[in-house]
Amino acid sequence: MLPALREWTGDDLPTLADLDYEGEPDVFVLPIKKPDGGKLTDAQRQHNWLHAYARARAEQANSLLKTTFKALRRVSLSPDAIGKIAAAALVLLHFEHDRTT
């Protein structure tokens, strides 16, 4: 699955992940671990902050969709089918909050 993800995202669309994917740094953009007994530089801390901020926005959106639409809470369909359901739910959510443009 990782080669397909790399092909789909390419170089211009980074995929953010947490440290659970530490073994795949060429596929994902990961936060920087603090070295044993050391400190992170200011640039590394800023990288981690930006990484966490970007992931937090996605997690908030995911949470909003799952709490609003019960059908998305325990889905065990193929990723393609889940994507279609999530896209439809997002349209409904935008319509409900009058964010149609």
Instruction: Examine residue 61 and state whether it is found in any structural domain, yes or no.
Output: yes
Specify whether the CB–CB gap between 85 and 71 falls below 8 A: yes
| Residue 41 domain-assigned (yes or no) | yes
- Domain assignment present for residue 99? The answer is no
pLDDT digits (tens, 9 = 90+) for 40-58: 999 999 999 999 998 898 8
Quick check: is 10 in a domain? yes
| Residue with more model confidence, 43 or 2 | 43
Q: Is residue 46 in a domain?
A: yes
CA distance linking residue 81 with residue 84, whole number of Å: 5
Tokens of 84: 């279609």
- Residue 82 falls inside a structural domain: no
What is the structure's pLDDT at 101? 56
Q: Evaluate whether residue 89 is within a structural domain.
A: no
One-letter amino acid for residue 88 of the chain: A
Predicted confidence (pLDDT) at residue 13 exceeds the cutoff of 90:
no
Q: What is the largest CA-CA distance in the chain?
A: 51
- Its domain, for residue 13, covers 2-69
- Residue 14 belongs to a domain: yes
Give the total number of structural domains in the chain. Answer: 1
DSSP letters along 13-50, please?
S-EE--GGGTT-TTTEE-PPPPPTT----HHHHHHHHH
